Amino acid sequence: MNLNLLLQNIGLNSKEAHLYLTLLGLGKATAFVLAKESGVKRSSVYVLLEKLQRQGLITTTQTKKVAFFSALSPRSLYALHKAKEEQLKAALPELEALEGSAQEKPQFRVYEGFDGVHSVYYEMIEHYRRGGDIQFFAKLEPIMKAYGKVLDILKAEIKKPGPNKGRLKDLMTEGRFEKSFYEEMKNSANYEIRFVPSQFGQINNDIVIYGNKLAIISGKTRIFATVIESDEVAESFRTMHAMAWAAAKKPVA
């Protein structure tokens, strides 16, 4: 059995493990003898001994002239690590609660420039290809003008038949451009559009809910996207979309 490696597995580094094993074999030794027997420089021996002492793995006996060092017995070493294991086990509920609270915190990401925004749309496209549903709020014309290249890929995916794709619901401000877009897309099985009457104001960004993410994408002045990753936030906006969808106008065929 590789004892050095075994000790590394419980938290020592290679030099600390080597020094502990050497001292264990000697029983008791001065730093000078330990350096000679271990092949470790004397200056390094003092540093390593201090680290091992802080971990409770060696004891020191001081005489008038010199200090002697002894290694903790193997059974005491086992008991020490068993006690640490029990302490960790007792702390698990508290640690797991801490982990859970961190996971519940929303994650925010900001993407700037066309490449950054395109990467967000590509993420949506992959979500749709894997069967995920997507909900949109948008004023379509400025978004298509800004990001038409990547949105043409999404349009092609929507038009392409396939049983395992998700469903897309597009809630958009009513206008001539949007009506023309509806005529182009109305025969796509997985895609639906409804219009928000213009008197309710403009939706100036592309707001998209997909999976546990909410993306807010600017298509007018600065080119950027903000993505919030949160089950709670995504579900809240999904509910808002469903409420607005129920009140929105169906396109006239």
Mean predicted confidence (pLDDT) in 125-141: 89
pLDDT at 45 over 60: yes
Distance CA 67, CA 189 (A): 84
How many residues are listed for the chain in this entry?
253
Mean predicted confidence (pLDDT) in 176-203: 83
Give residue 10's region: left, alpha or beta (phi > 0; psi -120 to 50). Answer: alpha
Mean predicted confidence (pLDDT) in 174-190: 85
Distance CA 109, CA 217 (A): 12
Percentage, residues of the chain above pLDDT 90? 24
Boundary of a domain, candidates 35, 59, 77: 77
Q: What is the pLDDT of residue 104?
A: 62
**Domain of residue 39, CATH code:** 1.10.10.10
**Domain of residue 129, CATH code:** 3.30.870.10
Mean predicted confidence (pLDDT) in 121-150: 87
Q: Are residues 220 and 131 in the same domain?
A: yes
Give residue 218's region: left, alpha or beta (phi > 0; psi -120 to 50). Answer: beta
Question: Taking the mean position of all CA atoms in its chain, how far away is CA 60?
Answer: 46
| Contact assessment for residue 240 and residue 248, using Cβ atoms and an 8 Å cutoff | no
pLDDT at 211 over 60: yes
Q: Are residues 35 and 111 in the same domain?
A: no
Q: What is the pLDDT of residue 194?
A: 92
Domain that holds residue 52: 3-77
pLDDT at 188 over 70: yes
Confidence class for position 101, pLDDT limits 50, 70, 90: low
Q: What is the pLDDT of residue 56?
A: 86
Q: Are residues 154 and 73 in the same domain?
A: no
Q: Are residues 236 and 128 in the same domain?
A: yes
| Contact assessment for residue 236 and residue 135, using Cβ atoms and an 8 Å cutoff | no
Alpha helix (H) residue ranges in the chain: 3-9, 14-26, 31-38, 42-54, 74-104, 113-129, 140-159, 176-185, 231-247
pLDDT digits (tens, 9 = 90+) for 67-93: 898 988 888 888 887 888 888 888 888
Take residue 127 and report the two structure tokens written for it: 């979500």
pLDDT mean across residues, the chain:
86
The CB density around residue 71, as the number of other CB atoms within 10 Å, is: 22
Percentage, residues of the chain above pLDDT 70? 96
| Contact assessment for residue 42 and residue 30, using Cβ atoms and an 8 Å cutoff | no
Highest mean pLDDT among 90-94, 105-109, 238-242: 238-242
Distance CA 206, CA 120 (A): 12
The structure's pTM equals 0.59
Q: Are residues 129 and 198 in the same domain?
A: yes
